[in-house]
Amino acid sequence: MDPTESRTKRRREIAVADVGVDRISQLPDDLQILILSSLSTKEAFKTSLLAKKLQNSWAKLPDVNLDFDEFLPEDSGDDKKLLKLHAEKFKKFGDRILNNPDKLRNLEKLKLAWVEGDTYPTPAFKWLDTVAKQNLKFLSVHIYSESDFRVPDSIFSCESLEEMELNLEDEIIAPSQESVHLPHLKKLTLRSIFIEDGVMQKLSGLSALEEMVLFDCYLRTCEISSDTLKRLELNGYCNFHNKTGVNETDITISTPHLLYLEVLSCAKGTIKLNKMESLVKACIHYHEDSLFLTGLSNASELELMLAKSSVLEMKDVLKEETSKFPNLKTLKIGEWCMTDEFDVVDHFLSHARNLQKLTLLHCRQEYA
């Protein structure tokens, strides 16, 4: 017999013998978990149905990503009936995942994204309340709701959480201050949220918090006070209680161990900086209040892109004896300081004796 025909015949015999053999289950557990972890939550769940042992490996995956967009066909458009149908499928899938006791026992990371319609309310409240009772370490929630959506208080007392991201598209977070207990939270990101001052004080004062980021949040009088915070970003905040229509927000920041501060806002109001002894770098963009400058005197790197209307006030602040920058080595400032006499630049050159690099930026685009 020809050697080639012999090999072909042997392969056929092996293939026939292998019918009904579950080779997937014969893979080592670590390899099964590695394969499933490379897939999305939806794909991993479907794949786990191929073999009983895969279901056990799937339950050991610590990450769950529930994204409503994954259940929508590309041509769904604004068809409400179709959206409702897929919303029901998504809800059943999420319930099946988060009602699995083995999955919950191993759950460490949850990402949840949902766009709620008027005909299909979100089950997110129930899901979040369920996972808050687990050993969750990372939570990311993006909810767009046409009705008022409320994050359950239990999330704010999840003792295992180390990082939390909430994007609620103009909703209010209003946990009772007694319920806020996040002893291991190191990073907090809040986006498009209405935040009462009492809640902000409680969140910023968390005992392990090192990084806080606020994007397009609505604040009023706001106090951020922390002995542990090292990085703070205030990006696009504004006032949501001012009945006069004037967008003013007064912020007090007391963070003795803060290393990095970033403020990006066109909001009116004041920023008062207290106890900034450890500050290394600060980036201030388009803020109209200049009184904060004296709180940045310990920084070694400054980036100041301010509104032109703040130049006169800035000059007065710089005349004070406290406006000295003994540690400043890198300074980047915008065209707001380019007056006829360049006195703002002159002040920095005179009071920053260790300055090594000065950058003057000219921007052609005008900001209102």
pLDDT digits (tens, 9 = 90+) for 120-157: 678 899 999 999 999 999 999 999 877 778 899 999 99
* 213 touches 237 (CB < 8 A): no
Per-residue pLDDT band for 286 (boundaries 50, 70, 90) equals: low
Alpha-carbon span 210 to 177, nearest angstrom? 20
Question: Which helix or strand (DSSP H or E) is residue 63 part of?
Answer: strand 63-67
Per-residue pLDDT band for 12 (boundaries 50, 70, 90) equals: low
Alpha-carbon span 34 to 107, nearest angstrom? 16
* 363 touches 342 (CB < 8 A): no
Residue 271 CA to its chain's centroid (Å): 23
pLDDT score at 146: 74
* 83 touches 117 (CB < 8 A): yes
Lowest pLDDT segment from 12-21, 191-200, 278-287, 357-366: 12-21
Tell me the pTM: 0.85
Per-residue pLDDT band for 352 (boundaries 50, 70, 90) equals: confident
Dihedral through CA 163, CA 166, CA 167, CA 168, nearest 10?
170
pLDDT score at 243: 42
Q: What is the mean pLDDT of residues 204-225?
A: 90
Per-residue pLDDT band for 273 (boundaries 50, 70, 90) equals: confident
- Of 153, 63, 79, the closest CA to residue 112 belongs to 63
CB atoms within 10 A of CB 133: 12
Lowest pLDDT segment from 244-258, 304-318, 332-346: 304-318
Lowest pLDDT segment from 72-81, 165-174, 245-254, 306-315: 306-315
What is the phi/psi pair of residue 112, to 5°? Answer: -130, 125
CB atoms within 10 A of CB 241: 12
pLDDT score at 315: 62
Alpha-carbon span 356 to 345, nearest angstrom? 14
Per-residue pLDDT band for 100 (boundaries 50, 70, 90) equals: very high
- Of 234, 237, 342, 333, the closest CA to residue 293 belongs to 333
Lowest pLDDT segment from 17-21, 36-40, 300-304: 17-21
Question: Which three-class secondary structure state does DSSP give residue 200?
Answer: helix
CB atoms within 10 A of CB 277: 10
pLDDT score at 366: 42
The length of the chain, given as a count of residues: 368
Per-residue pLDDT band for 2 (boundaries 50, 70, 90) equals: low
Of the two residues 15 and 197, the one the predictor is more confident about is: 197
Of the two residues 95 and 146, the one the predictor is more confident about is: 95
Question: Which three-class secondary structure state does DSSP give residue 58?
Answer: helix
CB atoms within 10 A of CB 359: 10
